[in-house]
Structure 1
Amino acid sequence: MADPSYEQHADNKPHTCAVCGYSTAVRSYFLRHMRTHTGEKPYKCDQCDYSAAEKSTLNYHQTRHSGEKPYMCGECGYRTAAKSGLSKHMRTHTGEKPYKCDQCDYSTTQKSTLDYHLKAIHTGEKRFICGECGYRAAVKSKLVLHMRIHTGLKPYKCDKCDYTAARKSNLDKHQAKHTGEKLFVCKKCAYKTAYRSNFSNHMRTHTGEKPYKCDQCDYSARSKSALGYHARTKHTREKRYMCGECGYTTAQKCTLSNHMRTHTGEKPYKCDQCEYSAVQRSTLNQHHLAKHTNKKPYKCEDCGYKTAKKYSLVQHARTHTGEKPYKCDQCDYSAVHKCTLDYHFKAKHTEEKPFMCGECGYRTVHKSHLSRHMRTHTGEKPYKCHQCDYSAVQKSGLDHHLAKHSDERPYLYGYRAAHRSSLSTHMRTRAGIKQM
């Protein structure tokens, strides 16, 4: 009796799945496909309880036990157990995106990503629904990953410690901590990373590529997470993560995690060349570039100012243009920096000053200001000069002092100054602006 799960046709793809309509000319492909519906995994690992639907998948799994990674990138030394993994990796160097969408100009390095794009963006179809919370997904694999939030399942286990993960990509990132390897090396600067996704994002800082587009405005981003943050903060204004200590709210879970460290004092990111530690990885990266490489690739065309950070150059340029892009929505105040606008809003419009000194009753909007204030009582001066016995209450005071040793005058506009604040004051004088 014929198998009822497929039908024979006269065309060149006679094997058709009755469940989803998939068709193929090759019977073995058809049988392999049917396992996606039945869940059958006939290929068993003889060293652990892993099983797979395909022999090739089992072979790849078994390299975890042997540690064998025979395929190596000639550009950066990256090694992998699978030839297909090397092919995908090479596209981070070449920029090749062979999978093109036939409905828009989107292209990608992997077919699975293109398939997801087609379902999510063009069909709008999200037929996989979570019975727990109503979450919908365009592809079944996304729902499977989502369900682990409810079940707590973490099937990916580290063979060197007791770490477990819900996603394989998270396990791969974790395992880099054991090896210390940073296989992805940028040829344009000194950046290195253990993670492919970080490397891809980094390369966009050189190419300027921003492939993630907002469907509600003309904003575009280098990473999907940045686009998600933009959508939540600019269009929905949703801030669903709240600090139990002080009531701070944010649109991103990782931002809340960073914020919590202001309460705990935790600084998990350690510099491997000095005793510096940071709350965020990005801050550590900036420290390394500025303090240990002495590279300052970003230069102001107007005055010759140089910096290690692109964003610092953008901010510096505003001393020339007078641009203040951050506007208060309750008065006509505007600021050069977002943090300055946030401070203004709390101080002037909410009158909220949750941080209070137990010695004298001084109140402030920011915890950092209270910490600085407390030094007037304790006499602490934590910022030490490494060339003399000078110490300062604030880092800005130490920076000001260090200029005396270097005789450096990096701020130039005809007039030269050792300190940005002096240049800013000078610029206002030239513009006829009186400081309030």
Structure 2
Amino acid sequence: MIFKNRRTLISHRNSIHLNVTFVCDFKDCNKSFHTKQYLNRHKNDVHLNRGKERHCFWPKCQYKTTIKGNFIQHQLLHSDNKQYKCDVKDCDKSFNQIQGLISHKNYIHLNKKRLKSNELITNEYIHCCYPNCDYKTTNKHHLKQHKITHSEKREFKCDFCDQSYKRNEQLVHHKNVIHLNNKKFICDVNECNKKFARKRDLVFHKSCVHLNEKPFKCNEGNCGKMFAKECILNVHKRIHSGEKPFVCDVNGCNASFKRVSHLSQHKSNVHLNKRLIKCDFPDCKQTFKQTNHLVAHKNRVHLKLRFVCDFNDCNKSFVDKYRLFQHKNFVHLNESKFKCNEENCGKNFISNSALIVHKRIHSGEKPFVCGFKDCNMSFHKMSYLTDHKSTHLTVKQFKCHYKDCGGSYASNRYLQRHVRYVHKK
């Protein structure tokens, strides 16, 4: 074997041929290294705290290291100077790090996927061993990362609130979006200006919303819906099959859901009763379980922000943009694909889930039953059950914000009904 410098040659000899190791003599450490230089660096950085930490100067970037080379490479991530250009014909891609260029060539042009620098991936899939999980990959690292989703361990805890996560990137994303409001990736298409905390979210937004790149099509019945990712298509297909593979295991609940995110939301809302996200406006003590609920609260109560329909002098206003979007499609553009086939009904709905809920009116089905003692009331919508459950509670945390009113209610829906009938007559 031939080496570029003497240090790596010595390290190779010590580790492979001579089996020489240098052991750290600090108390209860006993870490071993192939060269004395690595041992000294370990002592300085870990035990003597002599490693001068270099902190990234980019706003709100928390990266820090004691190694100069790593720090220089990290700074290139923030740089707009993409000096490494792909030399393949008709490819204009450029990168700010050499590793990015090598990875691009391997994946895009050479169709190589690597586990390590010297180990090529084969076409043999590695399957997840957990029951009812269809995940498969050719990359061992990806499989290892996927298995974390099945684990209950949440080692990465937020130092702003009580939330914890299975992966560090999930924690960083949570901090950026919820606490630091760090959304540095801005969509520049047609003055959209929508902000994202992660670059991949911006790329996904551009491809789906502006470029309409949705290559995965649902072939069930007369559906034909298009999706940007295969995993989203697979989740969508559960609407047709009725499959709900994610089952709640808390106190014999056994509620099942189509998505693992819905199961997590169910656990936090119903069993753990978490209300983690607090409104940051002065003198407002409202807390919410979901970010979109917080945004809607701010728009409605503090910012008085309304989204107004501009079709033919309609001027109907809504609290959030999604409601306006639904209104335009359903009322003005008549984009309601789901029609009730019950006799003398014929109502149209913008989504299949809304149609399913509506059909319970005809069938009389009320699957959502109140579990409070001696109550047993049932409802055809989950939101109605949630509102009803709040009537059993003595705490009425939703207070009317109109001056000199003082009304308080057990649920937000009851508060909105009060505002609509009492203050906006």
Q: Does 1:165 align with 2:144?
A: no
Give the one of 102, 110, 117 matched to 2:77.
117
Corresponding residue for 1:418?
A: 410
Corresponding residue for 2:304?
A: 322
Report % sequence identity: 25
Corresponding residue for 1:140?
A: 102
Letter in 1 for 2:81: H
Corresponding residue for 1:374?
A: 359
Aligned mates of 1:252, 1:112 — CA distance in 2: 35
CA gap of 1:124–1:154, structure 2 versus 1, over 3 A, is: farther
Q: Does 1:226 align with 2:201?
A: yes
Aligned mates of 1:311, 1:380 — CA distance in 2: 30
Shift of the alpha carbon at 1:312?
1.1
Corresponding residue for 2:117?
A: none
Shift of the alpha carbon at 1:391?
0.7
Contact 1:145 1:166 in 2 (8 A): no
Aligned mates of 1:287, 1:411 — CA distance in 2: 21
CA gap of 1:271–1:97, structure 2 versus 1, over 3 A, is: farther
Corresponding residue for 2:240?
A: 263
414-423 or 104-113, which deviates more: 104-113
Aligned mates of 1:207, 1:380 — CA distance in 2: 42
Shift of the alpha carbon at 1:392?
0.9
Aligned mates of 2:200, 2:320 — CA distance in 1: 22
CA gap of 1:402–1:341, structure 2 versus 1, over 3 A, is: same
Letter in 1 for 2:409: A
Corresponding residue for 1:195?
A: 167
Corresponding residue for 2:271?
A: 292
285-294 or 249-258, which deviates more: 249-258
CA gap of 1:163–1:401, structure 2 versus 1, over 3 A, is: closer
Shift of the alpha carbon at 1:112?
9.4
CA gap of 1:156–1:379, structure 2 versus 1, over 3 A, is: closer
Shift of the alpha carbon at 1:233?
5.2
Q: Does 1:354 align with 2:337?
A: yes
Q: Does 1:396 align with 2:388?
A: no
Per-residue displacement from partner, 1:219-241 (whole Å, max 9, x unpaired)? 54322332223434565455555
Aligned mates of 1:251, 1:327 — CA distance in 2: 28
CA gap of 1:100–1:130, structure 2 versus 1, over 3 A, is: farther
Shift of the alpha carbon at 1:269?
3.6
CA gap of 1:159–1:275, structure 2 versus 1, over 3 A, is: closer
Give the one of 218, 225, 237 matched to 1:243.
218
Secondary structure (helix, strand or coil) at the match of 1:231 reads helix
Aligned mates of 1:113, 1:210 — CA distance in 2: 22
Q: Does 1:127 align with 2:76?
A: no
CA gap of 1:294–1:403, structure 2 versus 1, over 3 A, is: closer
Contact 1:267 1:278 in 2 (8 A): yes
Contact 1:328 1:345 in 2 (8 A): no
Shift of the alpha carbon at 1:296?
1.8
RMSD in angstroms over aligned alpha carbons?
A: 4.5
Aligned mates of 2:160, 2:330 — CA distance in 1: 43
Letter in 1 for 2:203: G
CA gap of 1:401–1:181, structure 2 versus 1, over 3 A, is: closer
CA gap of 1:393–1:244, structure 2 versus 1, over 3 A, is: same
Aligned mates of 2:85, 2:317 — CA distance in 1: 42
Shift of the alpha carbon at 1:337?
2.9
Per-residue displacement from partner, 1:225-271 (whole Å, max 9, x unpaired)? 32223434565455555434423345555544443333333334443
Contact 2:60 2:182 in 1 (8 A): no
Shift of the alpha carbon at 1:394?
1.4
Aligned mates of 2:226, 2:73 — CA distance in 1: 33
Shift of the alpha carbon at 1:208?
1.1
Q: Does 1:341 align with 2:324?
A: yes
Corresponding residue for 2:146?
A: 174
Gaps of 5+ in 2: 17-29, 32-40, 46-52, 65-69, 96-100, 114-119, 401-405
Aligned mates of 1:194, 1:410 — CA distance in 2: 32
CA gap of 1:184–1:329, structure 2 versus 1, over 3 A, is: farther
Contact 1:212 1:227 in 2 (8 A): no
Corresponding residue for 1:281?
A: 260
**What number of residue pairs does the alignment pair up?**
349
Contact 2:277 2:287 in 1 (8 A): yes
Aligned mates of 1:254, 1:397 — CA distance in 2: 31
CA gap of 1:237–1:158, structure 2 versus 1, over 3 A, is: closer
